[in-house]
Amino acid sequence: MNDNLHAMRHTSAHVLAAAVERLYPGVKFGVGPVVENGFYYDILFPEPISDDDLKTIEKEMKKIISEKHEMVREEISLDKAVSFFKEHGQDFKVELLKDLKEKGTTKIQTDETQDIDISKPDVATLYHTGDFVDLCRGPHIENVKDVGAFKLWKIAGAYWRGNEKNPQMQRVYGLAFETQKELDEYLAMLEEAKKRDHRKLGTELELFTIIDEVGPGLPLFYPKGAILRRLIENFIMEQQEKRGYVPIWIPHITKGKLYEISGHLQKYDAMYPPMDLPDEAQYYLKPMNCPHFMMLYKSTAHSYRDMPMRWTCTTSCYRYEKSGELSGLTRVRSLTQDDCHVFLKSDQIEQEINLMLDMIDETYRAFGFKDFWVRVSTSDPNQKEKYIGDPKIWEESEAALARLVEGRGWKKEVGVGEAAFYGPKLDFMVKDVIGRQWQLSTIQLDMNLPERFELEYADSDGKAKRPVVIHRAILGSTERFMGILIEHYGGAFPMWLAPVQIRIATVSEDFVSFAQKLKTELSDAGVRVELDDSDMKVGKKIRNAAMMKIPWTIVIGEKETQGGAFDVNVFGQEEHITIGQDQLVGEISKASKQK
């Protein structure tokens, strides 16, 4: 985002607030930052508003823009600012100002965060938009007439400062771009995204559902969804096995002691409450798998000759995500990870990561993700005290990560200071077919858990050494990957991924026996096939198959039972294809291999 667009979006948030203040006396404002593609403002209305009210607010915003107000910056003392906002009933602004005065920061992770300028202590920055005055550090465009193209988009709930104990506000989202053309293109993308919404398609295509009696964030999968899961996970398993990864298995609960050792019990805030068992220690549902891998490694002796040890386990974890953050399959409380941990010597890091990059490359090609880039997260050389492990290993590892990504010609960005305290990492950002960006794979070097769990191996000199651990997930989680994949394809999966590859539809009852034999022949050949032998007219059967986005539909009538070639309705194509009866199994097998 360029600086001018950022300033335009920031100013649009102020125009929104100015319009709301005119329309709803007694309103209280939280913060209004710039976000991707626009802005939002957290507002406590005297009475909650609905999406129907957005047009009225937008109309008032346009009126304010037509008045061509300058964005006037003013600096006053913190005490005067507190008095001003208290007088105007803006309790949330008063709270922010008191934080500024007492702590030097508001501690809110948005663009509205203000830090006291040490060159101007005890000073707050205000911006005037006509009669409206807001607490803000800027920057803004000079005049509201230049805010560009915008549209109020939606309303969501938001607790003040993200704390459920605080008042619940309404977050009004707006879209903003430099030109109307860009806004129109983005709105068209949003309309396409609605059609592809995996939550909607999940129901329509009978893939998954979420049932209140089971619990939010706990998806259940219908047969077609379970088949899709299996196809995705089996692909990853095959990729791993041919590269020397071996499976392990771990339980879904554990004593709290394990997470005391790893540090998660003290610092990880998404764990489910413990299970208190009579005469037993407290047990927890596992939110991650790493500590189990560490303990299994530690249970036996290892030599440098064993390295690298590539262990993998596709297993579910359970995280108590906030209910307001749950979304279909992309944010759940029960997530299945294609988790892998490689135990290795430090001089093996480069070769192992190269092996992982091969797998990621092959996976993205197979699933149709062609546009992606990699963030290389490194340590901050000015804050070396934040990181653990041998500085030399850090330096070599960071250089190797960047070099390996560059060697493949992949786009990359270096995130200085974005590394975890225990090691540098690679995060893979993928764009789907309509241009939205998702984070999928991750590769993380870890010099912390081997230390905490006191892991060792016997080196060639006979001395005990600490291994390095690489955490690696390609899918990230099966559920989230499925949600992204459903939207990427709009539910119209390629043949190899389709839960049902062929639907056979009979013209009448006279041809059911032939269709049943064909179904058996295809099933025996490994084809995923359904038979529609209902009493519906054949046109309706074909339309139903198309609604389910099944790749091929074959109609069985008189011609077919007499040995004639099959006319195949291909989803998404107007023209049929014709396949001889003795060629059908071979053609479907051929189509299934095209990844």
Helix ranges (H only) for 319-427 are 349-367, 391-407
Residue 3's pLDDT is 86
Q: In terms of Cα–Cα distance, which of 44, 49, 54, 58 is closest to 15?
A: 58
Q: Is the pLDDT of residue 527 over 70?
A: yes
> What pLDDT, in 10s, does the model give residues 532-552?
999 999 999 999 999 999 999
Residue 120's pLDDT is 61
* Length of the chain measured in residues: 595
User: Domain 502-592 class?
Assistant: alpha beta
Q: Read off the pLDDT band of 121 (50, 70, 90).
A: low
Q: Per 3-state DSSP, what percentage of the chain is helix, strand, and coil (rounded to 5)? A: 40, 25, 35
Strands (DSSP E) contained in 198-287 are 208-209, 220-221, 246-247, 253-255, 283-285
Name the average pLDDT for the chain. 91
The closest alpha carbon to 484, from 472, 476, 495, belongs to: 476
Q: Where are the domains of the chain?
A: 3-195, 204-250+289-489, 252-288, 502-592
Mean pLDDT, rounded, for 85-99: 91
What pLDDT was estimated at residue 103? 66
Q: What is the DSSP string of 127-182?
A: EEETTEEEE------SBGGG--EEEEEEEEEEEGGG-TTSPEEEEEEEEEESSHHH
- Matching CATH number, 204-250+289-489, of 3.30.930.10, 3.40.430.10, 3.20.20.70, 3.40.50.620: 3.30.930.10
CA dist., res. 198 & res. 470, Å (int): 32
Long-range contacts of 117-124 (CB under 8 A, 24+ apart): 120/75, 122/77, 122/78, 122/79, 123/75, 123/76, 123/77, 123/78, 124/75, 124/76, 124/77, 124/78, 124/80, 124/81, 124/97, 124/100
- pLDDT at position 110 is 44
Per-residue pLDDT averaged across 357-377, rounded? 94
The Cβ of residue 60 has, within 10 Å, a number of other Cβ atoms equal to 18
What burial class does residue 47 get, using C-beta atoms within 10 Å of its C-beta: 0-12 exposed, 13-18 middle, 19+ buried?
A: exposed
pLDDT band at 419 (very low <50, low <70, confident <90, very high): confident
> Quick one: pLDDT band at residue 116, thresholds 50, 70, 90?
very low
**Which positions are catalytic?**
290, 319, 337, 339, 341, 425, 471
Tell me, letter by letter, the H, E, C secondary structure of 107-130.
CCCCCCCCECCCCCCCEEEEEEEC
Residue 102, H or E segment: helix 91-103
Helices (H), 302-370: 349-367
Task: Report residue 377 as tokens.
Answer: 């997260």
Two tokens, residue 177? 């771009």
Tokens coding 48: 């909650």
Averaged pLDDT for residues 259-270: 84
Q: How far apart (Å, rounded) are the C-alpha atoms in residues 395 and 321?
A: 35
Evaluate whether 3-195 and 204-250+289-489 have a shared fold.
no
DSSP character for 268?
Answer: -
Q: Which fold has domain 3-195?
A: Threonyl-tRNA Synthetase; Chain A, domain 2 (3.30.980)
Q: What is the pLDDT of residues 55-90, one digit of tens each?
A: 999 999 999 999 999 999 999 998 999 999 999 999
Can you give the C-alpha Rg of the chain in angstroms?
A: 29
Segment 472-486 mean pLDDT: 95
**How many whole angstroms separate alpha carbon 202 and alpha carbon 486?**
8
Calculate mean pLDDT across residues 568-580: 91
Q: Is the peptide bond before 308 cis (omega within 30 degrees of 0)?
A: yes
pLDDT band, very low/low/confident/very high, at 382 (cuts 50, 70, 90): confident
